[in-house]
Amino acid sequence: MLILECPYCGVKADETELHPGGEAHLKRFGPESSDEEFEAYLFERKNRKGVHFERWRHVYGCGKWFHAARATDTLEVFGTYSAQTNAPPDDLIKKIKQKRPDFGGYE
Amino acid sequence: MSDPVCALNNAVFDGLVRLEETGPRGMVTLRGDLGAAAVLKSVQKAVKDATGLPVPAVRRIVLQKEYGAGWMSPDELLLMMPYDEAGRAVKAADKALKAVHSLVVNVSDARSVFRLSGAAAPEVLAKLAPVDFTAMAPDEIRRSRLAQVPAAFWRVGDDTYDVVAFRSVSSYVFELLKTAAAPGSGVGFY
Ligand SMILES: [Zn+2]
């Protein structure tokens, strides 16, 4: 069972109180983009084994979207952070690197 | 004017705890960015004028007699008052919030309220919601789910909890609570 702490209300929410939103920090390619860019935006995902950044929504709670960093292989949660950002915060990256020396950083 | 009637006609059940549908209750949703200082100032006045209460802290609820103010999200509060005062409360809050981006709606008839009384109340709720009641503060309002529907609950006194859910799922919620409170079904976890 996955438990994520909502950064807006502080509830340690059980997975069943949350709604998954897929990979975090996707850049949208819209009407002016090429077919390849649009296809990549829609379908291409990192699907990492290991450190992964995701979007979640506290749907049975405050209703807000937020971000979470976790390991897909062990389910270890490194932290959660605000939705109002385009990349994971530096202190979280640092924390993950300490725990997982093989983690090369967010790209 | 016809009299307001709550969804289950004030149903009562006695089991591990006493269950009562306690409505109708006045409820007003107030939306506005509580993190913006300028908005918060107006919200403080709105909540005061509508209920006489201060703005609750994050995930807290302030209760006094028949009035209440609960923190629902970074931009939403739940205000409670006697049913027939909801219209006046909306007008008062609207007036205080005139200058800021906000929304005030009377949702009294969209909700149902249930009261659980008895020492087993946390246990009955914990059968239905993924919530650790030992970690819940005495003045905390917890939004979660009861089985498959959204609900919010808080403590109103020793061994007494109030639960609010959408009116459209009133009978579902009451049946759930009845099942969780069935005589002989105690777990003794808390
Ligand atoms: Zn939340």
What's the CATH code of the domain at B102? 3.30.70.1520
What's the CA gap between B19 and A70, in Å, rounded? 41
pLDDT at position A1 over 90: no
Is residue B60 in a domain? yes
Between the two ends of chain B, the Cα-to-Cα distance in Å is 46
Pairing of β B160-166 and β B26-31: unpaired
Q: Which residues contact A31 (CB under 8 A, 6 or more apart)?
A: none
Q: How far apart are CA B1 and CA B179, in angstroms?
A: 37
Among the partner-chain residues B71, B73, B130, the one whose CB lies closest to the CB of A17 is B130
Determine the pLDDT at residue A107: 77
Number of C-alpha atoms within 13 angstroms, CB side, residue A56? 28
pLDDT average, residue stretch A81-107: 94
CA of A10 to the centre of ligand 1 (A): 6
Shared domain check, B105 and B30: yes
Return the pLDDT at B29: 98
- Residue B169 within a domain: yes
Would the CB atoms of B74 and A10 count as touching at under 8 Å? no
> Rounded distance, CA B155 to CA B167, Å?
21
Is residue B99 located within the same domain as residue B37?
Answer: yes
SS3 state of residue B80: strand
pLDDT of amino acid A54: 97
- Same domain for B86 and B116, yes or no, is no
Distance (Å) from the alpha carbon of B167 to chain A's nearest alpha carbon:
17
Q: Do B72 and A62 touch (CB under 8 A)?
A: yes
The strand ranges marked E within chain A are 3-5, 12-14, 19-23, 51-57, 65-71, 77-81
Q: Which residues of A touch B (CB under 8 A)?
A: 8-12, 14, 16-17, 60-64
Residue B144 forms contact with A (CB below 8 Å): yes
User: pLDDT value at position B190?
Assistant: 85
**Pair of tokens at residue B188:** 């003794």
Domain at A3-99, CATH class: alpha beta
* pLDDT tens digits, B32-52: 999 999 999 999 999 999 999
Which segments of chain B have a pLDDT < 50? none
Contacts across the A-B interface (CB distance below 8 Å): 37
Joined together, the tokens standing for residue B7 give 């969804």
CA distance B145 to chain A (A): 6
pLDDT of B108: 97
Answer yes or no: is B41 within a domain: yes
The rounded percent of chain B whose pLDDT value lies above 90 is 95
Residue A18 has pLDDT above 80, yes or no: yes
Interface-testing mutation among B29, B33, B58, B59, with chain A (most A C-beta atoms within 10 A): B59
Angstroms from A13 CA to nearest CA on chain B:
8
By CA distance, what is B142's nearest residue in A?
A61
DSSP-assigned letter for residue B74: T
Separation of CA B56 and ligand 1 centre (Å): 16
Q: Where are the beta strands (DSSP E) in B1-87?
A: 12-14, 18-21, 26-31, 61-64, 67-73, 76-81
Chain A interface disruption, residue of B71, B72, B73, B134, most A CBs within 10 A: B73
Measure the CA angle with vertex B5, ends B3 and B11; round to 5°: 145
Query: Measured between CB atoms, does B57 come within 8 Å of chain A?
Result: no
List the domain range (segments joined by +) for residue B30.
26-109
Question: Could B73 and A63 be called an inter-chain contact, meaning their C-beta atoms sit closer than 8 Å?
Answer: yes
Asked if residue B5 is part of any domain, the answer here is no
Classified as helix, coil or strand, B128 is coil
What integer pLDDT is reported at residue A4 of this predicted model?
98
- Provide the pLDDT for residue B23: 83
In this structure, the number of other CB atoms found within 10 A of the CB of residue B128 comes to 21
Whether pLDDT at A97 is above 70: yes
Domain-ending residue, one of B109, B127, B158: B109
B118 shares a domain with B84? no
pLDDT at B2: 81
Determine, yes or no, domain membership for B160: yes
What's the total number of domains in chain B? 2
Question: What pLDDT, on a 0 to 100 scale, did the predictor assign at position B1?
Answer: 66
Q: Does B138 lie in the same domain as B80? A: no
Are residues B33 and B104 located together in one domain of the fold? yes
List pLDDT tens digits, range B9-40.
Answer: 999 999 999 999 998 999 999 999 999 999 99
Whether the CB-CB separation of B134 and B190 falls below 8 Å is answered with yes
